Amino acid sequence: MSTPANLHPTGPSPDGLDLQVLAAYLAGTGILGPDSVLHGTLISGGKSNLTYRITDGTSRWILRRPPLGNILPGAHDVTREHRVMLALGDTNIPVPRMAALCENGDVLGAPFYLMEEVSGLILRAPEDVSQIPEVTRARLGAALVDVLADLHEVDFAQVGLNTLGNPEGYLERQLERWVRQYHKIKVRELAYIQPIADSLASYLPRGGKPAIVHGDYRLDNLIVSEEDPAHITAVLDWEMATLGDPLADLGILIMFWDEPDRPFNPITNGLMAAPGFMSSDAVTNRYINRRNLQIDSMDWYLVFAKFKLAIILEQIHVRHLRGETRGEGFAGVGDMVTALLNSAMDNVSKSPSLGTAKGRFHG
């Protein structure tokens, strides 16, 4: 006799996930069979939305939900992730296949979505990259740039994402948003927040043709094939995706593109500073050639990428101080914020296209 849906057999529930309730929900949607036993584990490695591996012994899924504790409005939008990946499923951009979406907190106390697990590797540390031959690294670096360029060529209206965001005034709104987010969660004085914000506001680019912007595009947000690690099988972490200036994505990619002759980004910590990967200048050249663009300077976008990441990490640092994070790797996040702001201010001082400006964001 099969077990009723409201008494579905499950394994132990990891923190932040009630497998009993989830199993009943999935059985009700037909995703889970009536006699299946559901198991779930928290996947470490991420510092934003909580990510779990779910299995009934036959199929394997990934579940994403917002972190525990207080969440700022607009942050950790898992429904946005689901919407974007569902829309891109029939394009040339590799994304996982979506399985379910719950847009409210009725099941798990927060929105969540379920997607099919994509087999492959996530290269999170320099040790992972070191296992890949140099010639394969060169191909992987090229693929990383090409997938981003191809994303920015997707016709967002044709795939149903024309209401994903308002591309008009995107850069200005982004800058204002992250300054505002910092002041909402502020628990300490951070050097250079104000002069960086003022410089970015004073030298705001006009922006080009709008595109789908990923918002956090980097090597460790991708899955690559085990058989051929130069082949990207899925782009992950779309929670900040919107419509806007695609060069913001290129700035993020360059920020994370570690090179042996300059300080490493505190998140990637030298992930791509290995022989075979092209230089960051070559990244820009490959991108603009693939999209047939002309770019005067990437300085503004690089500084903004560091500024934005610093404030995102400060939000995570504050949640960690409140005991609201789960998993490992949060103790050093506060120091990463300082390192990023120092690096951004150094970029401002050395850039011929940026400079100090009077206080639009004073006070």
CATH number at residue 56: 3.30.200.20
Show which of 91, 116, 141 is a domain's final residue: 116
Looking at the structure, tell me whether residues 24 and 132 fall in a common domain: no
pLDDT for the residue 5: 42
Looking at the structure, tell me whether residues 176 and 311 fall in a common domain: yes
Looking at the structure, tell me whether residues 141 and 287 fall in a common domain: yes
Tokens of 279: 């230089």
Looking at the structure, tell me whether residues 136 and 103 fall in a common domain: no
CATH number at residue 135: 3.90.1200.10
Looking at the structure, tell me whether residues 248 and 317 fall in a common domain: yes
Asked if the structure places residue 362 within a domain, the reply is no
Cα 88-310-256 angle, rounded to 5 deg: 55
DSSP assignment of 265-303: PTTTTTTT-STTSPPHHHHHHHHHHHHT---S--HHHHH
Asked if the structure places residue 121 within a domain, the reply is no
pLDDT for the residue 360: 46
Note whether 316 and 325 are within 8 A (CB). Answer: yes
Cα–Cα distance for residue pair 71/239, rounded to 1 Å: 14
The amino acid at residue 107 is V
Residues of the chain falling short of pLDDT 50: 1-7, 45, 358-363
Cα–Cα distance for residue pair 91/97, rounded to 1 Å: 12
Q: How many domains does the chain have?
A: 2
Note whether 256 and 271 are within 8 A (CB). Answer: yes
State the residue range of the domain holding 141.
126-350
Cα–Cα distance for residue pair 68/301, rounded to 1 Å: 31
pLDDT for the residue 47: 53
Cα–Cα distance for residue pair 57/34, rounded to 1 Å: 13
Looking at the structure, tell me whether residues 42 and 182 fall in a common domain: no
Looking at the structure, tell me whether residues 132 and 106 fall in a common domain: no
Looking at the structure, tell me whether residues 292 and 235 fall in a common domain: yes
Looking at the structure, tell me whether residues 185 and 320 fall in a common domain: yes
Looking at the structure, tell me whether residues 219 and 254 fall in a common domain: yes
pLDDT for the residue 335: 82
Looking at the structure, tell me whether residues 255 and 338 fall in a common domain: yes
Tokens of 71: 């969440």
* Contacting residues for 115 by C-beta, under 8 A, at least 6 apart: 61, 62, 64, 82, 85, 96, 97, 98, 99
Looking at the structure, tell me whether residues 10 and 99 fall in a common domain: yes
Tens digits of residue pLDDT in 149-199? 999 999 999 999 999 999 999 999 999 999 999 999 887 888 899 999 999
* Contacting residues for 68 by C-beta, under 8 A, at least 6 apart: 15, 16, 50, 324, 326
pLDDT for the residue 2: 37
Show which of 88, 116, 144 is a domain's final residue: 116
pLDDT for the residue 73: 52
Asked if the structure places residue 361 within a domain, the reply is no
Asked if the structure places residue 59 within a domain, the reply is yes
Burial 106-133 (b: 16+ CB within 10 A, else e): ebbebbbbbbebbebebbbebebbeebe
Asked if the structure places residue 359 within a domain, the reply is no
Asked if the structure places residue 323 within a domain, the reply is yes
pLDDT for the residue 320: 74
